């Protein structure tokens, strides 16, 4: 389940097949299983998107998802394997994918709710619902949107997020702009609403 830059298929492909997304500063190793998702669909999550921290990949704030705050958040559900999700998460956590990642054991044991893999960004795994009988999972920060100072994302990161919204949801530039205006921080404060 992707709610940020990974909504753009080209960006997600760098986590699976390896490579550097346009505008990014980092080259990704790729997953152990390099096949692209068998299917993807637009979805809306009940929580909300917010930006905080400083991305070493894009510069500026990073997108996080707060499941416990009123939304909605447009997202893209990709049908991938548990191993691919674990490898994507490892790369988001600035680690290399490994054969014996303990997170894969958690997923294969029928994980539900919230699982913390570590203290850093994108190390909190959330079960956000089901689609066609399969679990929808994503990862985010351990803090809620009120827990950290908000930070504006870079233009390159926003461009990738916007590309994903257009691809997944078929939104026009005006629809993308209107949505982003509701979630971008204003002067270091929380997002508009």
pLDDT of residue 187: 63
Instruction: List the chain residues with pLDDT less than 50.
Output: 188, 192-193
Report the pLDDT value the prediction gives residue 193, as an integer from 0 to 100.
Answer: 45
Cβ proximity of 65 and 140 under 8 Å:
yes
pLDDT at site 9: 96
CA distance linking residue 104 with residue 84, whole number of Å: 9
pLDDT of residue 154: 96
The pLDDT value given to residue 191: 53
Q: What topology does CATH give the domain 5-183?
A: Hypothetical upf0131 protein ytfp (3.10.490)
CB 65 within 8 A of CB 45: yes
Distance of alpha carbon 122 from alpha carbon 119, whole angstroms: 9
pLDDT tens column, 75-104: 999 999 999 999 999 999 888 898 888 888
DSSP states of 140-177: E-SS-TTSS-B-PBPHHHHHHHHHHHHHHH---HHHHH
Domain ranges of the chain: 5-183
Q: What is the pLDDT of residue 152?
A: 96
């Amino acid at each position: 389940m992707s709610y940020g830059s990974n909504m753009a298929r080209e960006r997600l492909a760098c986590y699976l097949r390896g490579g550097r997304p346009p505008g990014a500063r980092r080259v990704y190793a790729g997953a152990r299983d390099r096949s692209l998702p068998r299917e993807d669909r637009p979805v809306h999550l009940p929580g909300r998107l917010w930006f905080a921290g400083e991305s070493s990949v894009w510069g500026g704030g990073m997108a996080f998802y707060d499941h416990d705050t009123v939304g909605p958040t447009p997202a893209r559900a990709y049908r991938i394997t548990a191993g691919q999700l674990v490898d994507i998460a490892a790369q988001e956590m600035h680690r290399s994918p490994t054969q014996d990642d303990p997170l894969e054991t958690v997923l294969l044991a029928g994980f539900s709710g919230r699982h913390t893999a570590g203290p850093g960004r994108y190390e909190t795994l959330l079960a956000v619902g089901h689609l066609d009988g399969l679990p929808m999972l994503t990862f985010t920060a351990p803090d809620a949107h009120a827990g950290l100072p908000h930070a504006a994302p870079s233009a390159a990161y926003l461009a990738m997020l916007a590309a994903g919204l257009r691809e997944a949801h078929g939104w026009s530039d005006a629809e993308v702009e209107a949505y982003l205006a509701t979630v971008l921080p204003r002067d270091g404060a929380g997002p508009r609403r």
